[in-house]
Amino acid sequence: MKMIERTLVLLKPDGVKRGLTGRILSRFEDAGFKFVGMKMVWVDDSLGRKHYADVAQRRGEKVFQNLMKFMATGPVLAICLEGVNTVENVRKIAGGTEPKTALPGTIRGDFAHVSFIHADKEDKAIENLIHASGSAEEARQEIALWFKPEELHSYKTVHEVHVF
């Protein structure tokens, strides 16, 4: 099992527009993850449909359409992180996908509080600040969707001296 891996993180429009970018990025930096790719992107229909292809099947067309509308409300900061067990650890830092139930100390638990029920009642997507790949395979697919190979970088960090 490969321990050093990469994952995709998206700071969604609500996180960017609320000015939480630096505070969220610092959590990953503080944990020792390496930023190997980063760019700001406006999510168009084509990119959104490719990234969230399974949402309509899993959650229904209405949820998918609300998500697509939400993701087009502002720019997204796309990030590729690298480190030890990155997929699992980044998801722990992000917290549960429903901010209302996300634990304190996680990104969603500290910076959001809305519930699935509230979002459904308001007929909108859940604004939960961040997307983090769910598995190593999903991460590989998502990174390839969001980044060209030449947009990803290799370099040594001070953490690598102590960990590796």
Domain definitions of the chain by residue range? 4-163
Query: Which pLDDT tens digit goes with each residue over 101-152?
Result: 999 999 999 999 999 999 999 999 999 999 999 999 999 999 999 999 999 9
Dist. CA 8–CA 36, nearest whole Å: 10
Say how many Å lie between the first and final Cα of the chain, rounded.
16
The tens digit of pLDDT for each residue in 51-101 reads 998 887 788 888 899 999 999 999 999 999 999 999 999 999 999 999 999
The CATH class, in words, for 4-163 is alpha beta
Assign 1 a pLDDT band (cuts: 50, 70, 90).
Answer: low
Cα–Cα distance list, 105 to 33, 93, 96, 110, 148 (Å): 17, 8, 11, 6, 33
Name the phi and psi angles at 131, rounded to 5. Answer: -115, 140
pTM score of the predicted model:
0.92
Which residues carry out catalysis? 131
Cα 14 to Cα 4: distance, rounded to the nearest angstrom: 30
